[in-house]
């Protein structure tokens, strides 16, 4: 079984509570939802991660290297 790693071109974290803090330079990506009594007005604070992978590289691997069935994973640490 071969392993092909495709690395992202760009990434960013976006924050619902602080839109001006949206980042794309930091090496840390955050995904969370904060809820509870500490929040103003009880509105959840959500952060999401956006990741852009090179479409041409994905297409190349699928067309030229993969045969039969395959399995994919996205590992975030």
Q: Is pLDDT of 52 > 90? A: yes
| pLDDT of 4 over the 70 cut | yes
How many whole angstroms from its chain centre is CA 19? 18
Arithmetic mean of pLDDT, 35-39:
63
Mean predicted lDDT score pLDDT of the chain:
82
Rounded to whole angstroms, the Cα distance separating 12 from 7 reads 14
First to last CA, the chain: 23
pTM of the prediction? 0.69
- pLDDT, residue 40, reads 61
What is residue 32's DSSP assignment?
A: E
pLDDT at 65 over 90: no
Average pLDDT over residues 67-72: 86
Question: What pLDDT score does 59 carry?
Answer: 92
In this structure, the dihedral spanned by the alpha carbons of residues 30, 36, 38 and 40, taken in order and rounded to 10 degrees, is 90
Beta bridge partners of 12: 50
């Amino acid at each position: 079984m071969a392993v092909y790693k495709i690395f992202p071109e760009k990434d960013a974290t976006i924050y619902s509570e602080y839109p001006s803090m949206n980042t794309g330079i930091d090496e840390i990506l955050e995904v969370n939802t904060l809820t509870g009594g500490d929040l103003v007005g009880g509105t959840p604070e959500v952060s999401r991660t956006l990741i852009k992978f090179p479409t041409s590289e994905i297409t190349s691997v699928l067309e030229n290297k993969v045969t039969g069935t395959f399995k994919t994973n996205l590992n975030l640490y």
